[in-house]
Amino acid sequence: MTTLVMGVVNVTPDSFSDGGRWFSPGAAVAHGLDLVEQGADILDVGGESTRPGADRPIEEEELHRVIPVIRELSRAGVRVSVDTMRASVAAHAVDAGAAIVNDVSGGLADPDMARVVAETGVPFVVMHWRGHSHQMQDRASYDDVVGEVCRELGERVADLAARGVRPDQLILDPGFGFAKLAEHNWSLLAHLDAVQALGFPVLVGTSRKSFLGALGVRGGGPPRPPSQRDVATAATTVLAGIAGVWGVRVHDVASSIDALRVVAAVQASR
């Protein structure tokens, strides 16, 4: 199986990775088309920053940010995912052409999300989640992070199935950086096989996360800025590709495309 590359299109003024560089609809669409030109298979369009401590936009503002971008990218023939925790935004996004709903709360933030996903029938990315941005790092406590993440994802799968979501719609995301400390992220990355053993496609989203920025920083200094984390991100893409995951969600598409080409070349030579 070829690992897909999902390019990130943040339509927010406060993204941790780009600081709002693509905030206007025109800039977001142009950036998305550039990522497709670089090789992205899917574009993940989001209007709410989920960095630790971020405030949520009101529903109307989120719709204003993402719907025009999704509509234009879809018209251009791009496979688009909407990154949202709101059922209403998901429904409008699918109407505008989105083919995937990516909910970092896995349907927990909005009890109506399961109904929308079940009715539309689109693939649904279910991420491991323990709370909104202002509180999630307070909940980064595990005795066995791999076992607990897998168990909690399994609980989400069972709940969504009970609400009418088909199993073949589901894609699981272990939630790197969400209610996770660095050691939790490394453990999950080392045990992607355990997440895959749940029997669903897996999406890996390590791109530019702070645990990568902390690599090589001496004396407990601040992590390197997000723009300097793409090489480390590409290394995680190699690991994800070797593990055979369904997809990687990245900001710098070109480096991950090259990383997956290396994986494919090695595997083809075995």
So which residues are the catalytic ones? Answer: 209, 249
Please state, as a whole number, how many other Cβ atoms lie within 10 Å of the Cβ of residue 130. 20
Residues contacting residue 20 through CB under 8 Å, at least 6 positions apart = 10, 12, 13, 14
Of 128, 101, 129, nearest in space to 115 by CA: 101
Of 202, 204, 251, nearest in space to 231 by CA: 251
Of 139, 145, 91, nearest in space to 118 by CA: 91
